[in-house]
Amino acid sequence: MEKAALWTDGRYYLQAENQLGLEWTLMRGGSVGVPSYSEWLRDNLSDPPRWCGGAQANLVSQRDSTHFCRSQLD
């Protein structure tokens, strides 16, 4: 694994800091300068894409995931 990132909001910053390994980057959702998950994926995918991702379905809309997947195919 080359890069790993976790997006969370302020309720879980402390827990994430304590539990994530050094290979992970904590993305403090809603903070200034923090990219959205789709921006980060777009900027960090290899070309051609070779990646694995996971998302909590009730937090990532079908519209967002469809938009992201289509933008990668263009």
pLDDT tens for 25-64 read 999 988 999 998 778 877 887 665 565 666 677 777 777 7
Q: What is the DSSP letter of 48?
A: S
20 — pLDDT class (breaks 50, 70, 90): very high
Q: What φ, ψ does residue 43 adopt, rounded to 5°?
A: -80, -20
Which amino acid is located at 25 in the chain?
Answer: T
Residue 6 has, within 13 A of its CA and on its CB side, a CA count of: 17
Whether 41 contacts 53, CB under 8 Å = yes
List beta partners, residue 5. Answer: 25
Residue 35 has, within 13 A of its CA and on its CB side, a CA count of: 10
Report if pTM > 0.85: no
pLDDT at 34 (0 to 100): 95
